[in-house]
Amino acid sequence: MDERAFQSWKFEGEEPAMEAKDGLPSAEHLGQRVSIRSHDPEGGFRDLLGHLVTPTQVRKKDGQIVTFDPSTIALWKVVPSNALSTGVFVYDTKSREKREVTISDGRALRLYSCGPTVYRDAHVGNLRTFLLADLLTRIVEVSGFKVHGIQNITDVGHMNEDLRVDGETDEEDKVLTQAKAEQIDPFTLARSYERKFHQDLARFGIKSADIYPRASESIDLMIRIIEQLIDSGNAYVGSDGSVYFSANTFESYGALSGNKLTELVPGHRYEYTGDGAKRFHADWALWKSAGERTQMVWDSPWGSGFPGWHIECSAMSLHYLKGHVDVHLGGIDLRFPHHENERAQSNSASLSEVTDLWMHGEHLLFEGRKMSKSAGNVVLMEDVVQKGFDPLALRLVFLENRYRSQMDLNWDQISAADSTLSRWRKKYQEWSSAELPSDSAEIDAHVESLFDIIRDDLDTPRALVELRAIERDASISPNGKAAIFAALDAVLGLDLTRAPKKIELSPEISELIEKRRTARAAKDFATSDLLRDQLFALGISVKDGPDGMSWEVIP
Ligand SMILES: [Zn+2]
């Protein structure tokens, strides 16, 4: 029982206060936050605070649905919402319009981002998606609000969508398949790629989420919500021992992706589960029976098995974000079926619209093509570093493009961004050492107008155009420019105030650098590549630009 809930009740003797409602909660109050005081059988009172989901049910803060008997109500009222408006607007996939990001509990923005499936290195396209959560977090924080961010780690249950040669769907778990290929224990594999994921995020300037729950450690949470969905009639146990979500029980299925149930063709592979014992072709597995599988299986009320992928995000978001998600993020490829199914599960389990805003980042192409193993054009963070570029140069390239436009990346863009970063860092040092005074009101006005641009659906490309204009603007003092760049970097995350390292090179390194310069001048590219690798191993990255070769100590 929430004691604070009734602090605002005013009693005059036994009479309820004026603001208490006449009549009973009804359909017109659905979705509102209500406070209900009922008589209990012992002659006392029982208090209930939450959102009205039906005229006789309330969803409490922890997501639990409580049914009350209207005939026992002593008094009740609608409690005004304490939601905060952040002034940040983003495009919501579900309503297909720009909407304001709102902190529904008045304390911290509840942000959920779909995380990596840890069976391989994240490529730069994945990193572009992960950058979205970081950008949103940073702009909400500089606007004066707190963010509570969750990102899941999928280490079990994400089925492989690759088609086998014989045309059958490969029903293998991505982590298990890779563990078999590398001949190691699946958990060892998952933990090692999870570590690499965190390293990549750190090099990319992405601030950590508050919690990174692992699927394999959240099995109890998933079992609990599956049981709830069976009880409510939204899920059933198939004849194969697997549990399926019954798509037809969720009326607004398709609201997110536009894929209506009536239009989904049987046999189309929009879901990674085979037909199995499903009652309807669009149903999907919440829990899969272990069958022959012996690794990564858990006991459940339905026997040994493992969870489906979509249920993981419902279980984690409802648990860690206490029944409501202010903003849910992911790549556009997750919109269907992953997010559509997650929404059906979460909303059915909590009898509410769990997610307020759905944000999706667009696809990244590399040199005009979708990145894929078969096309041989998968680019990793390691490749960017190996080529001698600052990892944050990649971040700058992404910021130059709108998150919800498809973008085509190439090495020239990264190289150009790398030069821009070096120039800005050098200039920052010069500007900040200048002694000319600066007008703080003018600086604040510039910074606020740049933040306003980013608050408008994360329009970082336009903010960067403005920043370049400020760089060239002779009417702004050097100190002023330094202050504006430093302030904006709180959102851009480009480490613009970092001083270039002054270093003494060892004779060995100096000699290798000279040798490489000579090799390049002689167009002996084999030797020059070899020397570049040797220098890289010694912590020096070399770059070939229009002005010849330059080098830098790897940070
Ligand atoms: Zn997810």
Q: 249 and 270 share a domain?
A: yes
- Nearest CA to 288 out of 247, 328, 238 is that of 238
User: How far is the centre of ligand 1, averaged over its atoms, from the C-alpha of 457 (Å)?
Assistant: 22
In sequence order, the 6+-apart residues with CB closer than 8 A to the CB of 314 are 225, 342, 345, 346, 349
Segment 484-503 mean pLDDT? 90
User: How far is the centre of ligand 1, averaged over its atoms, from the C-alpha of 339 (Å)?
Assistant: 7
Q: 93 and 74 share a domain?
A: no
User: Domain for residue 415, yes or no?
Assistant: no
Query: Measured at the alpha carbon of residue 248, what is the angle toward residues 245 and 254, in degrees to the nearest 5?
Result: 95
Last residue of a domain, one of 343, 361, 379: 361
Q: 463 and 522 share a domain?
A: no
Query: Measured at the alpha carbon of residue 215, what is the angle toward residues 351 and 176, in degrees to the nearest 5?
Result: 135
pLDDT tens digits, one per residue of 280-295 = 888 999 999 998 889 9
Instruction: Using a CB cutoff of 5 Å, list residues around ligand 1, an ion.
Output: 114, 313
Domains in the chain: how many in total? 4
- DSSP, collapsed to helix, strand or coil, labels residue 354 as coil
Last residue of a domain, one of 78, 102, 125: 78
Q: Kindly list the distances between the CA atom of residue 371 and the CA atoms of 209, 366, 422, in Å, as whole numbers in the listed order.
A: 27, 6, 28
Task: Determine if residue 386 is left, alpha or beta; phi over 0 gives left, psi from -120 to 50 gives alpha, anything else beta.
Answer: alpha
H helices of 253-325, where?
309-320
Beta-bridge partners for 358: 328
Tell me which of 521 and 196 has the higher pLDDT. Answer: 196
Domain of residue 155: give its range: 86-361
How far is 523 from 464, CA to CA, in rounded Å?
37
Distance of CA 316 to the CA centre of its chain: 13
Q: 515 and 488 share a domain?
A: no
Q: At 3, list the tokens.
A: 């004691």
Q: Kindly list the distances between the CA atom of residue 110 and the CA atoms of 117, 283, 317, 354, in Å, as whole numbers in the listed order.
A: 22, 29, 9, 11
Strand order, beta sheet including 305-307: 235-237, 243-245, 284-289, 305-307
User: Domain for residue 386, yes or no?
Assistant: no
**What confidence tier does 396 reach under pLDDT thresholds 50, 70, 90?**
very high
* Per-residue model confidence (pLDDT) at position 261: 85
**What confidence tier does 555 reach under pLDDT thresholds 50, 70, 90?**
low
* Per-residue model confidence (pLDDT) at position 147: 98
Q: 523 and 464 share a domain?
A: no
User: How far is the centre of ligand 1, averaged over its atoms, from the C-alpha of 221 (Å)?
Assistant: 15
| pLDDT above 80: residue 16 | no
User: How far is the centre of ligand 1, averaged over its atoms, from the C-alpha of 109 (Å)?
Assistant: 18
* Per-residue model confidence (pLDDT) at position 32: 83
Q: What contacts 24+ positions apart, CB below 8 Å, involve 257-262?
A: 257/335, 257/336, 257/337, 257/339, 257/340, 259/336, 259/337, 259/340
Q: At 120, list the tokens.
A: 């391989």
How far is 217 from 22, CA to CA, in rounded Å?
48
How far is 169 from 275, CA to CA, in rounded Å?
11
Q: Would you list the DSSP string of 399-421? A: HTS-TTS-EEE-HHHHHHHHHHH
User: How far is the centre of ligand 1, averaged over its atoms, from the C-alpha of 296 (Å)?
Assistant: 19
**242 within 8 A of 182, measured Cβ to Cβ:** no
User: How far is the centre of ligand 1, averaged over its atoms, from the C-alpha of 114 (Å)?
Assistant: 4
pTM of the model: 0.80
| pLDDT above 90: residue 166 | no
User: Domain for residue 543, yes or no?
Assistant: yes
User: How far is the centre of ligand 1, averaged over its atoms, from the C-alpha of 341 (Å)?
Assistant: 10
Q: 29 and 128 share a domain?
A: no
User: Domain for residue 416, yes or no?
Assistant: no
- DSSP, collapsed to helix, strand or coil, labels residue 551 as strand
The residue whose two tokens read 């209930």 is 48
How far is 206 from 219, CA to CA, in rounded Å?
28
User: How far is the centre of ligand 1, averaged over its atoms, from the C-alpha of 101 (Å)?
Assistant: 20
Q: Which helix (H) or strand (E) holds 515?
A: helix 507-521
Q: 494 and 511 share a domain?
A: no
User: Domain for residue 191, yes or no?
Assistant: yes
Last residue of a domain, one of 78, 104, 120: 78
In sequence order, the 6+-apart residues with CB closer than 8 A to the CB of 21 are 75, 76, 77, 78
User: Cα torsion at 175, 176, 179, 184 (round to 10°)?
Assistant: 120
Segment 497-526 mean pLDDT? 84
**91 within 8 A of 67, measured Cβ to Cβ:** no
Q: 485 and 518 share a domain?
A: no
How far is 428 from 304, CA to CA, in rounded Å?
60
Segment 302-322 mean pLDDT? 95
Strand order, beta sheet including 73-78: 65-67, 57-59, 45-54, 33-39, 73-78
- Nearest CA to 148 out of 107, 183, 93 is that of 107
User: How far is the centre of ligand 1, averaged over its atoms, from the C-alpha of 113 (Å)?
Assistant: 7
User: How far is the centre of ligand 1, averaged over its atoms, from the C-alpha of 231 (Å)?
Assistant: 24
User: How far is the centre of ligand 1, averaged over its atoms, from the C-alpha of 311 (Å)?
Assistant: 8
User: How far is the centre of ligand 1, averaged over its atoms, from the C-alpha of 377 (Å)?
Assistant: 26
* Per-residue model confidence (pLDDT) at position 501: 63
Q: 128 and 205 share a domain?
A: yes
Q: 458 and 313 share a domain?
A: no
* Per-residue model confidence (pLDDT) at position 347: 96
- DSSP, collapsed to helix, strand or coil, labels residue 1 as coil
How far is 322 from 60, CA to CA, in rounded Å?
9
| pLDDT above 80: residue 456 | yes
In sequence order, the 6+-apart residues with CB closer than 8 A to the CB of 546 are none
What does pLDDT average to over the chain?
Answer: 88
Q: 474 and 357 share a domain?
A: no
Q: 27 and 158 share a domain?
A: no
For 113, what's the count of Cα atoms within 13 Å in the CB-facing half-sphere? 28
pLDDT tens digits, one per residue of 198-222 = 999 999 999 999 999 999 999 999 9
In sequence order, the 6+-apart residues with CB closer than 8 A to the CB of 74 are 16, 37, 38, 39, 45
